[in-house]
Structure 1
């Protein structure tokens, strides 16, 4: 890196002197030999700094002549400059041939001899080693190299390493490139799929080798086969790792009890399941028994003694109470080994937390009972709807009317199921009812009120009432006319703990009091009053139907209490 600037400096200095001499002292020669003063500078630069310095001097001479001696360029033109550069390059070539030292030729022969000796040494080396040129072509390889990577000498010498291993990982190619740049690269542990498809484990080193002139001629790769040792170590670690993952994934607690000495070993999960910090106490039978709920301990201790005596497998489910006073369900399995004379020697086993499973099982039983209960209630409601619809309606319209009312009930149940029967949002409930009539986005219906989660009973009763109001309005009321409007608003009085809902129709046909109040009126008035202990007003002024509900907030809002829907059906 330091030689190149020196060569350039020589060329610049000599070219500068030649330019000054041409401009100030030998200008009178310009018409005879316009570039005469530059040739000595080029020759000296080539002799002192080599071909590169000579070429720099020639280039600088041409540039200087054009810039500082304009009359020379005018007289000679581009052709003269080109002829000058051609002559200069010929002079540089002659100098290089004349000055090439005999020592360089001797060193070349000596280097070839050393390369031959090195290849022979590599071939006979007792380690896995290979020599490559700059194109990663095999120059030599030891017997160990051939054996480790499953190769044959005749098939690799003179061939590129990447042709023999076409799927070589990029990290190895990068290491080779670094070595060809003169770096030493090594890896203490690595794996590689050999030519036969087997995995090998080894440590390796990439070492550049110097050719004639001190340039990097290629790389040498040295490998130490660690396959046998690493395979054994990895098999052990893999087995331990799989066991640890299985134990941790299953949150399994492990114990190992030396019965003669009383010494017990617990893993961290065992401490945690019993509510202890890992390592905070000395594991013992007594420490385990202290955490077991006494009622369960009285049941399982006889089972443990029986297993110790007979050597059967041990299994049990019991509750433990941790330091946080929370009770958890535990399931345990164990095995006892005995001495030749039949004495219990060792007991070991696992246990894990089954609280969620127990809770889920209890919840499933509760849900089954709840489903049975609600199914009976729902069937009672459906039966009531069917009976009243059949009684009040034309047989020709029975199916359509009955289907519409069942859809309304289904929409309400869909909301309740999504909330796991913890009530429904009142606005969502209202929109679910009018949506079945294709009126959910009708601008003639104005829905307004504060957010309120109503209980399951109120949701079912009010859903049916809203459905009947909507159906009646489409057939006879405000929604039967394009100019009609429906205002549906509700409000909460927190001070009085009261809930009020108002359905007001305007702009429709003139309203008349119906001669007969059928199922719809019963749902809107009687069912709501009975189920919600509410005051219901249903009036028919000429401007449009007006319907109002006023009820205690506790009877409408979701408070977690169960409700009997069938009571309303039975009432009808």
Structure 2
């Protein structure tokens, strides 16, 4: 949050006329905004001429390759090709050449060997080839580091492989059903898998009794296909065992015929594939969650860049403010990552935000019950704390030795209450224009919590009070 100082006629700035801000549609302004946003999000950009092999890389693109940026961003296509891992080099060269020839969008995943430390990392490129009127081919796009994603996928594949090997080693049941309706037999392994006590053979009606009603249609369809002479069938269904646990079963069977070619019996095996199904769900969840977080993070960075650079601050000051806000965002993400993005203790969130600003512990009194805050509100609250702390250090109670801040939170019935109270600071200016921090607290934070945020500039300091329904802010069972 920022607070405007009152203007005066004296001081060293008297008589100076600030340069008029550049218009929003100035290409240089647009370029600066894009560069700040992409660099802050860890995204490298490039613009190359294919014929000459020369062009531009952003500083982040150089960093991803482990190379020192050139002063003007000058880049060479050959330098990128040299960094590609030898196992991927031929494939990427062929794909790149084909995409350049046809034009349009291009996407690739590949490994590179960093120039500085020799580390092998995975990169993903989203590019576009444009055939210009002069006959040149222009290649533009972005590149990101996807090493962690690839490692997660490899770990997941290994987990699935171990699961398959363990299933092959055991945990398989078998059965047979005679086509004349005389019944059948089941192994002890099958009975254990579906949750029936061993010791006798069961009728078909008894065998399918544990199947969940919503999966019964597939079982009935398989039975119908068998009677109609289907040579082989595989069915997946869930059973509720006698202990109440629900397990996924893979049922694979085939039809045997007698010497006259008539259907004789149906034999098959069953396997417990619960972990395999869970692995599929985890994989989908991981991919969806990764995509969701990347989109959300880029949206936040875009908003920070837009709100910061639209202010009347000089470019250097705006850039510094934007970088500080990115650090605050990264700090909140780091804290939540340690908790696997489940929830975070508010005490830890407050301490992390204040330490990132360098606020001395003796200047702030923190008090509140042991509450776990939900991830999205936690990020918004962390950003609000950054704005409040920055404002207090520049203009408020933390700008003077005698000033103090009290940070408190708690519950009032079914309402979560958070407060920031400054005391002992200088009087606020008479004329104030709401800055980005004020707008973010009053609008973004309040909207995230579906609550309200009230800021009051009192004689000896700012007071901020945030209220929200308990369920919107705190994890259930942790209040």
Report the TM range for the smaller structure's normalisation.
Answer: 0.5 to 0.7
Residue aligning to 1:295:
217
Q: Is the 8 A contact 1:512 1:541 kept in 2?
A: no
Q: 2:316 aligns to what SS in structure 1? A: coil
**In the TM superposition, what is the alpha-carbon distance from 1:505 to its structure 2 partner?**
2.4
Residue aligning to 1:435:
355
The equivalences for 1:235-384 within 5 A come to 250-257=170-177, 262=182, 264-279=184-199, 281-292=200-211, 293-305=215-227, 309=229, 312-323=231-242, 327-345=246-264, 347-366=266-285, 368-384=287-303
1:522 corresponds to 2:439: yes
Q: Is the 8 A contact 2:453 2:467 kept in 1?
A: yes
Residue aligning to 1:538:
455
Q: Using the alignment, how far apart are the partners of 2:193 and 2:439 within structure 1?
A: 59
Bigger relative contact order (CA 8 A; separation at least 6): 2
Q: Is the 8 A contact 1:508 1:544 kept in 2?
A: yes
The equivalences for 1:94-493 within 5 A come to 250-257=170-177, 262=182, 264-279=184-199, 281-292=200-211, 293-305=215-227, 309=229, 312-323=231-242, 327-345=246-264, 347-366=266-285, 368-392=287-311, 393-417=313-337, 419=339, 421-439=341-359, 442-493=361-412
Output the aligned Cα RMSD: 3.3
Q: Using the alignment, how far apart are the partners of 1:364 and 1:248 within structure 2?
A: 22
Residue aligning to 2:42:
none
In the superposition, the TM-score normalised over structure 2's length comes to 0.56
Q: Is the 8 A contact 2:218 2:235 kept in 1?
A: no
Q: Using the alignment, how far apart are the partners of 1:383 and 1:335 within structure 2?
A: 58
Q: Using the alignment, how far apart are the partners of 1:541 and 1:505 within structure 2?
A: 9
Q: Using the alignment, how far apart are the partners of 1:406 and 1:531 within structure 2?
A: 19
Q: 2:260 aligns to what SS in structure 1? A: coil
Residue aligning to 1:551:
468
Give the gaps of 5 or more residues in structure 1: 1-244, 561-572
Q: Using the alignment, how far apart are the partners of 1:451 and 1:513 within structure 2?
A: 39
Compared CA separation, residues 414 and 350, structure 1 to 2 (3 A): farther
Q: 1:276 aligns to what SS in structure 2? A: coil
Which of 417, 437, 445 is the equivalent residue of 1:500? 417
**In the TM superposition, what is the alpha-carbon distance from 1:531 to its structure 2 partner?**
3.6
**In the TM superposition, what is the alpha-carbon distance from 1:466 to its structure 2 partner?**
0.6
Q: Is the 8 A contact 1:512 1:540 kept in 2?
A: no
Q: Is the 8 A contact 2:236 2:248 kept in 1?
A: yes
Q: 2:405 aligns to what SS in structure 1? A: strand
Q: Using the alignment, how far apart are the partners of 1:285 and 1:530 within structure 2?
A: 57
Q: Using the alignment, how far apart are the partners of 1:267 and 1:248 within structure 2?
A: 17
**In the TM superposition, what is the alpha-carbon distance from 1:408 to its structure 2 partner?**
1.8
Which structure has greater helix proportion?
Answer: 1
Compared CA separation, residues 406 and 514, structure 1 to 2 (3 A): farther
Q: Using the alignment, how far apart are the partners of 2:315 and 2:382 within structure 1?
A: 25
Residue aligning to 1:107:
none
TM-superposition CA deviations, 1:498-555 (whole Å, max 9, x none): 3322212234445435632210111222333444344433233343332222333344
Q: Is the 8 A contact 1:262 1:284 kept in 2?
A: no
TM-superposition CA deviations, 1:214-239 (whole Å, max 9, x none): xxxxxxxxxxxxxxxxxxxxxxxxxx
Q: Using the alignment, how far apart are the partners of 1:362 and 1:338 within structure 2?
A: 39
Compared CA separation, residues 492 and 353, structure 1 to 2 (3 A): same
Compared CA separation, residues 371 and 514, structure 1 to 2 (3 A): farther
Q: Using the alignment, how far apart are the partners of 1:520 and 1:351 within structure 2?
A: 61
In the superposition, the TM-score normalised over structure 1's length comes to 0.48
Q: 1:516 aligns to what SS in structure 2? A: coil
**In the TM superposition, what is the alpha-carbon distance from 1:318 to its structure 2 partner?**
2.5
Q: 1:278 aligns to what SS in structure 2? A: coil
Compared CA separation, residues 513 and 268, structure 1 to 2 (3 A): farther
Residue aligning to 2:40:
none
Q: Is the 8 A contact 1:247 1:253 kept in 2?
A: no
**In the TM superposition, what is the alpha-carbon distance from 1:357 to its structure 2 partner?**
2.7
Which structure has greater strand proportion?
Answer: 2
Q: Is the 8 A contact 1:513 1:540 kept in 2?
A: no
Compared CA separation, residues 267 and 417, structure 1 to 2 (3 A): farther
**In the TM superposition, what is the alpha-carbon distance from 1:381 to its structure 2 partner?**
2.4
TM-superposition CA deviations, 1:26-62 (whole Å, max 9, x none): xxxxxxxxxxxxxxxxxxxxxxxxxxxxxxxxxxxxx
Computing the radius of gyration from Cα coordinates, the structure with the larger value is 1
Q: Using the alignment, how far apart are the partners of 1:259 and 1:379 within structure 2?
A: 61
